[in-house]
Amino acid sequence: MNIPLDAAGIKVLKQYSCANQCTWCDGCGDYGIWTAVKRALTELGIAPWQVLLCYDVGCHGNMSDKLLGYRFHGLHGRVIPFAVGAKLANMRVPVLAFGGDGATFSEGVGHLVHALRSNYPLTFILHNNGNYGLTTGQASAVTWQGQPMTASPNGIPEHTLNSMDFIFSLEPTFVARTFSGDIPHMTKVFIEAIKHQAHGFALVDVLQACPTYNHFATHEYLLERCYDVSLGKHDPSHFVKARTLAIDTQKRIACGVLYQRTDIQNFYDRLMPRIGEETTLVQEVGKIDVCRFMKRMV
C-alpha cells in the first residue's frame, strides 16, 4: 500500500475528506465503497483536482457531496453518457462513473449496452444492492425472482436478469467483481479498473449489502460466499472460463478481476479524426471562431 502518511504516521485520506455527513443507513455497503474509492484514488496518486467522479441518482449517488474531487450528479440511468462525454472531451482526466443496479439494468440499460460494445475509456462502478434503494426497496432486474419487496409483496413475476451473462454477451474488455464488506479487496479491484481506462470500459460489479431492503443477498450471505480468484489459478484472459466463473454464483461467488483484455483499442483511439492529434477536444473548442458560421446564416 502506498497511501501517504500524516505526521503521526497514520494512513490518511484527508485530501478527499469533506465536511458533509453521510446519510446512508447503518450497515449500508455504500460506506465501504466510499472508503475504497478514496483509498484507490489516493494509492494511485490521483489528487481530487485531477479526477472526475460521476454519479447516477440513487442512494449511492448521495456520495457525490460526501467526498472531494470534481463531481457531477446527473439524471437517473444516465450516468454513462455524461461520464463518457466528459472523458472524450478530455482524455487526460481519469473518469469514474457510479450507478445502481436499478438504473443500470433498467432505465439506463441501453447506455450500458453501448458502453460495452463501444469500449469507452471509462471506469464504471456498479453499486449492486439488488434493489432500488433510494425509492425504498422496489425490485430491480437483478432482484431474485419471487423475493417479496416493498412494491411486490408476492415477488416479481419476471425472471431475474443474469447480469454477468448479459455483460459477457457484449464482449467486454474488463469485468471484475468485489464485495462491499471487503474494503482492501475493493481498493485493489478499483485500482485495476481505473488503470484499465487506457484500454477501454472497465466494469466493476460491487455486490453491496443493503440491510434495510435486501434481505436475501445480505452482508453475511456475501461474506460466506465471496472469494478472491487472484489467490487461485484463474486466467483472466480466458473469455469462456471467465464467463462461466462469473455466471455461476450458486455456491461460491468469484471476485477479483474476472476478465481482461488489452488488445482492443478504446473508443477514442479508434476515432479516425483524432489520430495524431496532440490536443484534447476541450482545448480545441476554444479555438473555433463561430463568426464565419454566423455570416453564412445572414
Ligand X SMILES: Cc1ncc(C[n+]2csc(CCOP(=O)(O)OP(=O)(O)O)c2C)c(N)n1
Residues near ligand X, by CB under 6 A: 57-60, 76-77, 100-103, 107, 127, 129, 132-135, 140
CA 189 – CA 204 distance, rounded (Å): 8
Cell of 47: 489528487
CB 178 within 8 A of CB 255: yes
- CB of residue 79 to ligand X, shortest distance in Å: 10
User: Which residue's CB atom is positioned nearest to ligand X?
Assistant: 100
C-beta closer to ligand X: residue 203 or 242: 203
C-beta closer to ligand X: residue 132 or 267: 132
- CB of residue 137 to ligand X, shortest distance in Å: 9
- CB of residue 270 to ligand X, shortest distance in Å: 30
Look up residue 32 and give its amino acid: G
- CB of residue 227 to ligand X, shortest distance in Å: 25
The sign of the torsion formed by the CA atoms of 176, 256, 94, 173 equals negative
Give one word for 268, left, alpha or beta, with left for phi > 0 and alpha for psi -120 to 50.
Answer: alpha
Cell of 82: 455524461
Cell of 197: 481506462
C-beta closer to ligand X: residue 189 or 210: 210
C-beta closer to ligand X: residue 42 or 129: 129
- CB of residue 170 to ligand X, shortest distance in Å: 20
C-beta closer to ligand X: residue 88 or 207: 207
CB 55 within 8 A of CB 70: no
C-beta closer to ligand X: residue 69 or 133: 133
15 phi and psi, to 5 degrees?
Answer: -60, -25
C-alpha separations of 180 from 143, 151, 190, 294, 298 in Å: 17, 25, 12, 53, 59
233 phi and psi, to 5 degrees?
Answer: -110, 25
C-beta closer to ligand X: residue 145 or 237: 145
Strand, helix or coil at 15? helix
- CB of residue 199 to ligand X, shortest distance in Å: 27
- CB of residue 181 to ligand X, shortest distance in Å: 16
Strands 253-260, 226-228: pairing is: parallel
C-beta closer to ligand X: residue 124 or 259: 124
Q: What is the dihedral of CA 156, 26, 67, 56, to 10 degrees?
A: 10
- CB of residue 70 to ligand X, shortest distance in Å: 21
Residue 229 C-alpha from the chain's centroid:
20
